[in-house]
Structure 1
């Protein structure tokens, strides 16, 4: 799969899945704009992606109008076009109805839903011009039911439906829209949310793998490979889909091992 001369914007690119996506697109020849909130981490990702052309680095908070508007403006000023938008930026929260407050809800939805909606709205005209495509990064928690991840799961369910809605709207204009939905994935974000040590996180992943049919958790690179494939011309008639990369965890989400770990 070649993305030579294609312009790809990856949000949430400073770590984890976003970093893996950016690096794989760079290896496929794409011209990149990468967005993140951590300038130092984003610079390191740009270093890893730099070949003939260094990626455009945009330090921005996409939960804000200013962050979305500046991201769209700087990308189009630099490249004059956009072929692929990867909406990966997101935040999580470990909480439930009886222990949460509206500040947590607003923080999750402002990034995971409003930010995606806003940035996509701003860049849709450019994607129509290039007959480009959008890949949203969701989670199997958008369909799973478990205690302890309430606003996060709601936000991912909203994102999945957003994909279907705009896929239908943009299909006549030649723009494809899909979602890639990871399962249990090795992630610094999850470790930060739980506040556990490296050793504890390793044990957590081992326990989670026991409840996954394929007995393996995802690495960011597994998700990145699917994202790049779905964004490629090999998938020219694929739109409005939610594609799971989860080792079968969605099939076994009711298992005691999975639910026990999610709800801790």
Structure 2
């Protein structure tokens, strides 16, 4: 299937690994000229992007610098993928509200919400001119906050709401805005030996491999397996294409059937 993306331009944030890298790779395979942004540039990102940009997107200065660099390299933006997110949740575990410091709340909102707002505002003039597309990567934690680290779930819920606001404001201007909300995905966050999955396994008193094997059953994942980054990337790439031309303001969940609400 030809998605009609060849020759388009895209800015992908949080693009050095995991879902962001998979998105950058999938877009590039469709002929998109990708500018990838991350704090730490990896060799994998350098291979698939025409510009690998190092920036801290939890700061307003970082977002403006990243967008300016992308525009200088690409000449304009057709697609913005706000994938950056997470933060220290990879090491936090599941402390309660009383045990969670204000600083954690601020850090998680700075990265998962305010960084997206700033990046989007900086990129909007070009996206409006080109009648482009924005896809914000949220999380099923936006719909089930008690299952995620304090502050992260709430920031993702705010991001999902921001996406809906954007879609209604920008839809009449020809810019499509949608949200993709993954469930558990097979990235380093879950499979890495020092990240969230390993932390939760230790809390549960089981080995990491045993925890990952049992995870689909424990989380009620109807498909019986977690998602892979390439699957998230395929959905994002479709949403960025003209074939999704009348999908506006949607929050598309890809979680193997974890969420049970209608």
Q: Indicate whether the TM-score tops 0.5.
A: yes
Could you tell me how far 1:45 is from its partner in structure 2? Answer: 2.0
Find the residue that maps to 1:69 and give its secondary structure: helix
Q: Which residue of 1 aligns with 2:78?
A: 83
Aligned-partner Cα distance in 2 for 1:148–1:175: 31
Question: How do 1:1-264 residues align onto structure 2 when only pairs under 5 Å count?
Answer: 1-39=3-41, 41=42, 43-47=43-47, 49=48, 54-92=49-87, 93=89, 94=93, 95-146=95-146, 149-190=149-190, 191=192, 192-194=194-196, 196=198, 200-210=207-217, 211-251=220-260
Aligned residue pairs total 245
Deviations 1:203-252 (A, max 9, x none): 22222211211101001011001000111101101110100011100118
Deviations 1:27-76 (A, max 9, x none): 0000010001112x2x32221x2xxxx52010111001221011111111
CA contact (8 A) 1:183 1:244 kept: yes
Find the residue that maps to 2:146 and give its secondary structure: coil
Aligned-partner Cα distance in 2 for 1:156–1:240: 16
CA contact (8 A) 2:141 2:148 kept: no
Aligned-partner Cα distance in 2 for 1:129–1:206: 48
Aligned-partner Cα distance in 2 for 1:84–1:195: 32
Could you tell me how far 1:81 is from its partner in structure 2? Answer: 0.6
Find the residue that maps to 1:112 and give its secondary structure: helix
Name stretches of at least 5 consecutive residues in structure 1 with no aligned partner.
Answer: 253-264
Find the residue that maps to 1:250 and give its secondary structure: coil
* TM-aligned CA distance change 1:147 to 1:240, over 3 Å: closer
- RMSD over aligned Cα, in angstroms? 1.8
Name stretches of at least 5 consecutive residues in structure 2 with no aligned partner.
Answer: none
Give me the TM-score of the superposition, normalised by structure 2.
0.89
Aligned-partner Cα distance in 2 for 1:178–1:145: 20
Aligned-partner Cα distance in 2 for 1:63–1:112: 8
Give me the TM-score of the superposition, normalised by structure 1.
0.88
Could you tell me how far 1:188 is from its partner in structure 2? Answer: 1.2
CA contact (8 A) 2:14 2:37 kept: yes
